[in-house]
Structure 1
Amino acid sequence: MNHTEGHDVSQKIDTLSDSQYSRVADEYLESISDELDLLAEDHDQLDFELSHGVLNITIPPNGSYVINKQPPNKQIWLSSPLSGPKRFDLVGGKWTYLRDGTQLSNLLAGELGEAVGIDLQFESVDQ
């Protein structure tokens, strides 16, 4: 059973088979990578690589981000130089941090957009 701040959240988390999780998580990371590819066209300081379920992003002045699949937990984990480590579960089709409801796409767009000085939206992600 998953608990967050004393509340049972297990019924909120999308139920996925191992193969469904793998497909959804891979598609999500590929979508983020595609969005970063577009962003990098105008911001050459952005460096990123997606390999074997791990997305590494480096962007000054923030530093390095690591986003990776965690198949045993069916989560995506984020290590951010600004907001720290977080674990995201799939809730309603969106990767969500259960402690405060933050969506991974919004968190990344906010932090990376601030680093390059634009209002960034990951439009094709989470659809």
Structure 2
Amino acid sequence: MNDSEFHQKVDAQLQLIEEAIDNSGADIDYEVSGNVMTLEFEDRSQIIINRQEPMHEIWLASKSGGYHFKLIEDAWICSKTGVEFQAMVKRECDIQSQEDIEWD
């Protein structure tokens, strides 16, 4: 995968996060600036998602810790937990918001 393909694949993942948040009705603000997506919660806590171009990874930082995701057979998988990226984002949003968010 070259850098251009990497950015396209990460952009698609970030778009899925935006759509999931919008569809859930959760009180989560999000902003993308450069290579970083910030999810901000009612209590002002944040989840930071950023792309690590040199390693072709997505990194996620939350109250629970830091996680690195590598593309394996068309799925972004956490090197520490084996959890898929979108599932981890949703889980961490539930934890951070202290709610059971209704994800589609």
TM over 0.5, yes or no? yes
Alignment-mate amino acid for residue 19 of structure 2: D
Structure 1 unmatched ranges of 5 or more: 1-15, 122-127
SS of corresponding position for 1:28: helix
Cα distance per residue 1:11-63 (max 9 Å; x no partner): xxxxx111111111111112212222223xx33x3211122231100124582
Q: Which has the higher helix share?
A: 2
SS of corresponding position for 2:14: helix
**Matches of 1:118 and 1:101 in 2, distance apart?**
22
Is it true that 1:113 corresponds to 2:98 in the alignment? no
Contact 1:113–1:120 (CA under 8 A) maintained in structure 2? no
SS of corresponding position for 2:38: strand
Structure 2 unmatched ranges of 5 or more: none
- Alignment counterpart, residue 75 of structure 1, candidates 19, 35, 57: 57
Contact 2:67–2:80 (CA under 8 A) maintained in structure 1? no
CA RMSD of aligned residues (A): 2.0
Aligned length: 102
Alignment correspondent of 1:102: 83
What fraction of aligned residue pairs are identical, expressed as a percent?
A: 25
Cα distance per residue 1:55-99 (max 9 Å; x no partner): 100124582100011111100010111x21111101111111123
Decide which structure has the larger Cα Rg and report it.
1
Contact 1:112–1:120 (CA under 8 A) maintained in structure 2? no
Alignment correspondent of 1:27: 12
Is it true that 1:84 corresponds to 2:59 in the alignment? no
Name whichever of 96-105 and 54-63 sits farther off.
54-63
Query: Which portions of structure 1, spanning 4 or more consecutive aligned residues, are displaced by more than 3 angstroms?
Result: none
